[in-house]
Amino acid sequence: MTDTGTARISVHDVTADRRRGGELRVLLGPKTVGSTSGFMGVATLAPGDRIAEHYHPYSEEFLYVARGAITVDLDDRPVPLAAGEALFVPRHVRHRLRNTGDEPAEVVFHLGPLAPRPELGHVDTEGAPPPRKPS
């Protein structure tokens, strides 16, 4: 944190979370900068990778594809997104992210508001994909 209360975090400062598929990094959140209204991060998906289906009972999710292309399944309805496109995911909507392209995809995500407790913020509706084999 700076003396103005702002914080700068690099994607390289945060360990990737691979429990639900892909590589998720929460850059700005309660644990990294003490935020109280939501969190923001980046998901990196190799071709064929997916982030397992889930929903958020308390939070809306905002997705922005910075690189590559993905398909977001919203309650089993596929929505293709290309670089430069964004998608709003309302509370309680089941969603999964899949890299359906042939190049890595980077997706910026923001969720808010925060759930009352972290364990209440994310509900898995399918198992995580098997770990990707190193290339």
With 90 as the cut, is the pLDDT of residue 85 above it? yes
- What pTM was estimated for this model as a whole? 0.90
Strands 123-124 and 50-55, sheet pairing = antiparallel
pLDDT of 132 reads: 67
Rounded Cα distance, 11 and 105, in Å: 15
With 60 as the cut, is the pLDDT of residue 2 above it? no
Mean pLDDT of the chain: 92
Each residue's pLDDT tens digit, 59-79? 999 999 999 999 999 999 999
Residue 118 banded pLDDT, cuts 50, 70, 90? confident
